[in-house]
Amino acid sequence: MTDAERGGSDAPTSGSADGEHPLAAAGVDDDAVTDLSDVEEALSAAGFEADESVLTRRQAEVLVFRERGIRQSKIASMLGTSRANVSSIESSARQNVAKARETVAFAEALTAPVQIPVGEGTDLYDVPKQVYDACDEAGTKVNRTAPELMKTVSDAAGDAIQGREVRESLLVGVTTNGQVQVRRSTE
């Protein structure tokens, strides 16, 4: 089947630069991958419990298949549904995972013992001193050099920092084990 016949969203989730999944590149077809991968076993091994997850069982199953390089059309055939439905299930699952990650990051930021507000207009070069001073006061160690800390803040803040200028207020949190977390602040 050609890429045109599959449609863009039917391509594997990972693989080589040309879009081919590593197993397919090694000569393993979708049927062999399906035979090799037991979805129930994969879910059990990962500790998946639908009652405790933000994902439905079907969403988790589709993600297992997709992470193993199975095409949406093959999954649809195996599950007795349409490729469009599999695409929708996968999209919803990935949105749910992103929301769960955001929720965890928010909760971690709330509980970080060191929280440093970084105001709009702050020079990025001033942030490490603010962080080090706050951590010293709290007795928390940051295992990053000033350049590493600036890169961490800049990377996490994205377009909230342009050049050396903080363009949107940030909250830099440092956990008890020295992990640095950066969130955009709504203040």
Domain that holds residue 67: 3-105
| Confidence at residue 110, expressed as pLDDT on a 0 to 100 scale | 80
User: Do 14 and 98 belong to one domain?
Assistant: yes
User: Do 92 and 18 belong to one domain?
Assistant: yes
Q: How far apart are CA 90 and CA 68, in angstroms?
A: 13
Helices vs strands, H then E, count in the chain: 9, 5
| Confidence at residue 10, expressed as pLDDT on a 0 to 100 scale | 55
Q: Given its phi and psi angles, is residue 21 left (phi above 0), alpha (psi -120 to 50 degrees) or beta?
A: beta
Query: Quick one: pLDDT band at residue 28, thresholds 50, 70, 90?
Result: very low
User: Do 128 and 152 belong to one domain?
Assistant: yes
Q: DSSP of 66-98, one letter per residue?
A: HHTT--HHHHHHHHTS-HHHHHHHHHHHHHHHH
How high does pLDDT run on average in the chain? Answer: 82
Query: Quick one: pLDDT band at residue 3, thresholds 50, 70, 90?
Result: very low
Which of the listed residues 65, 88, 105 is the one where a domain comes to its end? Answer: 105
Task: Give the SS3 label for residue 142.
Answer: coil
User: Do 50 and 77 belong to one domain?
Assistant: yes
Number of domains in the chain: 2
pLDDT tens-digit map of 132-172? 999 999 999 998 999 999 999 999 999 999 999 999 999 99
Q: What is the mean pLDDT of residues 124-135?
A: 96
Q: What is the mean pLDDT of residues 49-57?
A: 94
Cα–Cα–Cα angle for 113, 116, 117, rounded to 5 degrees:
135
| Confidence at residue 1, expressed as pLDDT on a 0 to 100 scale | 36
The answer on pLDDT for 73 being more than 50 is yes
Q: How far apart are CA 117 and CA 139, in angstroms?
A: 18
Question: Of all residues in the chain, what percent carry a pLDDT higher than 70?
Answer: 80
